[in-house]
Structure 1
Amino acid sequence: MSQRPTPDEIRRAPKVLLHDHLDGGLRAETIVDLARETGYDRLPTTDPDNLRQWFEEASDSGSLVRYLETFDHTVGVMQTRESLVRVAAECAEDLAADGVVYAEVRYAPEQHTTTGLSLDQVVEAVLEGFGQVPGIKVGTLLTAMRHQARSMEIAELAVRYRDVGVVGFDIAGAEAGYPPTRHLDAFEYLQRENAHFTIHAGEAFGLPSIWQAIQWCGADRLGHGVRIIDDISASEDGTAKLGRLAALRP
């Protein structure tokens, strides 16, 4: 019988990460530092240990809405060029320390412009930060928020920077009431440009979201898609029976 790998062996093994959010993995100490430097005063606590615990509890609450609220604070301290460079560099450092050799990290440029940065400046700052860390290759996916109306603008941004580190486009945010077909013009544009895109679908809204993302929008990859389980049933002999969605092939 083969021996189970230890946590240290797993950490050192080379890995690929295809779904990570830049604004979802900040170090607690960094959030406190950046809040002080940028004047952000809405943190629930400025003690790094307590802040780390607050984030962990919100993330494990089982509520997608409460989980998404944590991003108000991380995005809130990522509004300057310097903060974006630092967060991106630390992201790459932390991933490399876990043995990741290739990662695709996504973020929404439109959420980092409240202090005057342009979309291009946001993208260039993040790419600069990722480029500072040796031993790991990081590609970025530019995300459009599905409740906003800037998906075409972000899709064009992704195409503009695809030769210098941007590897794709994505939409994310609350699914209910904001179907992926709302951004069909952006997906059609990306297809014409032979550009890649993913769609967050099937985490909170279920099978209709997955169906639209694949059949209507032509997504290369789904973000999460966990509700596909609702399309799988067990036969009398115990084998899995796939529905029309689970049986789809790329």
Structure 2
Amino acid sequence: MPIILHNFLFNVYPYICLAVFLMGSLARFDRDQYTWKSDSSQMLRARQLRWGSNLFHIGILFLFVGHTVGLLTPHIFYEWLITAPQKQMLAIVSGGVAGLVCFVGLTMLLHRRMFDPRIRLTSHKTDLAILIILWIQLVLGLVTLPFSYAHRADASAMLILADWAQHLVTFRPDASALIAIDWPFKVHMVLGMTIFLLFPFSRLVHVWSGFASLAYVLRPYQLVRSRRLNLPRAQDPARREGGRA
């Protein structure tokens, strides 16, 4: 890969994707709230949807949290508890299991979307496209597992990727060390960033609503108190009834 393209993809492209992800989501919420939904097809073949959706969401949530914590947590914060090679093996095993669970669920959803005539008729092209992109991304993630296992002794791959991610979030991009990373990692990273780029223009925006529901659950209780108006006796229904009694 030419060095100019390499620097663009891993030093500049992440910020482009993040800007479009945030601003695009805000613009869509402001201008097209009626399209802010998951477009559920639960009424059509609900059993396959239930299994596929549950497996997919369980797997993808675990992978999202694992990637976020694993990449953005500095090594100094966990070295007293677990070594870098041990952490990489933990990531390989747990990520592999979650990836397989997610793969089964996503394959079921993709099969349902592609081969059920009624569901395909009611689906948007972007629905099918985003599922295919997610499926390819998941396959690429599973492909990286043997490469990660090959670097298990020194955890070099994990440390290089974590260092790159931490430099990005602190606005000190440095992709020089990524040159030595195996190609599946690079393709997986670029496609992952592209998913964030496409996020505001797809049904994935409903993910924001999922995070918002957590804030709704944790909100303080609303106190509702009854209040009687100080009405004259002739205008107070309760007093009139009491007087007649």
Task: Specify if TM > 0.5.
Answer: no
Q: Which has the higher helix share?
A: 2
Q: Which has the higher contact order (CA 8 A, sep 6+)?
A: 2
TM-score by length of 2: 0.28
The structure in which a higher percent of residues are strand is 1
Normalization by structure 1: what TM-score?
A: 0.27
Larger Rg: 2
